[in-house]
């Protein structure tokens, strides 16, 4: 196995708890709609908004407009404005990294590795999200489907694009992500080493198709890279919170 020269991260449920943030934000939007006069139970609103997200895309920016039009055959922009404002406010309050993320990135940089981000999110969403997490200064490159001819994981194109941006061969990079079919299989198909973020796994996958499994937190990656590169174990205790 070649030495690892770059570490590439997915973002959602890998660097932060995307599903928790999404749920809290949608609940806030539902409460704002009710406060603005929508006479529907909160959980019903939340369920219908999620259904629209799964239908049109989890990043769909028109989801509240779609919801109001479906329910009332017209869009009350005052209600929609209140929902969007509260969604954004709640989301900004819960956009925090998983434990040990920042510490891990710093240690990987100290090892001389390049760091990248690979996401299926639209380009502006990715850059905004990484900035909200205050992680943008750590990464050498960020790639989305917009940078790979519209191709999404597990298609080889985005994986090859991030390797090209980091100026490494696929076998010199390790991909870290929480989605087996997209992150792990896609990366393996181009020859990358893979590390499954089990700490962010929403599907409770027992035996993921990955070279390594990060069971407790992302800092386990530091030892993995050091062992691959044969530069010894990292023995510092990993009990400190790094938010």
Tens of pLDDT, residue by residue over 25-39, are 999 999 999 999 999
- The CATH number covering residue 66 comes to 1.10.150.520
What does the pLDDT average to over 195-210? 88
In a shared domain, residues 101 and 125: yes
Please report which residue ranges of 167-219 form alpha helices under DSSP H.
185-189
In a shared domain, residues 90 and 58: yes
Task: Give me the domain span that covers residue 90.
Answer: 19-94
CB-count exposure of residue 26 (10 Å: 0-12, 13-18, 19+): buried
Q: Which residue has the tokens 């806030």?
A: 28
Could you read off the pLDDT of 158-174 as tens digits, one per residue?
999 999 999 999 999 99
* Domain stops at, among 94, 114, 132: 94
User: Is pLDDT above 70 for 240?
Assistant: no
User: Is pLDDT above 50 for 51?
Assistant: yes
Position 62 scores a pLDDT of 94
Looking at the whole model, is its pTM more than 0.85?
yes
* Domain stops at, among 94, 127, 156: 94
Could you read off the pLDDT of 97-114 as tens digits, one per residue?
999 999 999 999 999 999
Share of the chain above pLDDT 70, in %: 95
In a shared domain, residues 90 and 154: no
In a shared domain, residues 67 and 117: no
In a shared domain, residues 109 and 208: yes
User: Please, which pLDDT band fits residue 232 given cuts at 50, 70 and 90?
Assistant: low
User: Is pLDDT above 60 for 55?
Assistant: yes
Question: Is residue 170 domain-resident?
Answer: yes
Sheet with 114-118, strands from edge to edge, namely 141-143, 114-118, 6-9, 173-177, 193-197, 212-214
Position 182 scores a pLDDT of 95
Instruction: Report how far residue 218's alpha carbon sits from residue 195's, in angstroms, rounded to the nearest whole number.
Output: 10
* Domain stops at, among 39, 62, 94: 94
Total domain count, the chain: 2
What does the pLDDT average to over 196-208? 86
Could you read off the pLDDT of 80-101 as tens digits, one per residue?
999 999 999 999 999 999 999 9
Question: Is residue 234 domain-resident?
Answer: no
What does the pLDDT average to over 54-79? 94
Position 35 scores a pLDDT of 98
In a shared domain, residues 61 and 149: no
What does the pLDDT average to over 154-159? 97
User: Is pLDDT above 80 for 1?
Assistant: no
């Amino acid at each position: 196995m070649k030495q690892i020269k770059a570490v590439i991260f997915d973002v959602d449920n890998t660097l932060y708890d995307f599903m928790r943030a999404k749920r809290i934000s949608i609940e806030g939007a539902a409460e704002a709609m009710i406060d603005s006069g929508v006479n529907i139970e909160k959980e019903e609103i939340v369920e219908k908004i999620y259904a629209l997200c799964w239908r049109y895309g989890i990043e769909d920016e028109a989801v509240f407009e779609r919801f109001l039009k479906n329910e009332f055959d017209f869009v009350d922009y005052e209600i929609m404005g209140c929902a969007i404002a509260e969604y954004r406010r709640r989301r900004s309050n819960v956009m925090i990294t998983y434990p040990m993320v920042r510490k891990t990135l710093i240690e990987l940089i100290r090892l001389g590795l390049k760091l990248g981000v690979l996401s299926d999110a639209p380009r502006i969403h990715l850059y905004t999200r990484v900035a909200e997490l205050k992680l943008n200064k750590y990464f050498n490159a960020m790639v989305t489907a917009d940078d790979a001819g519209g191709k999404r994981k597990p298609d080889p194109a985005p994986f090859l694009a991030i390797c090209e941006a980091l100026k490494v061969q696929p076998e010199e990079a390790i991909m870290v992500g929480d989605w087996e079919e997209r992150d792990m299989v896609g990366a393996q198909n181009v020859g990358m080493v893979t590390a499954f973020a089990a700490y962010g796994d929403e599907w409770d996958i027992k035996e993921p198709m990955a070279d390594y499994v990060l069971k407790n937190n992302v800092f386990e990656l530091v030892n993995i890279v050091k062992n691959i590169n044969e530069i010894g174990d990292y023995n510092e205790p990993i009990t400190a919170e790094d938010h």
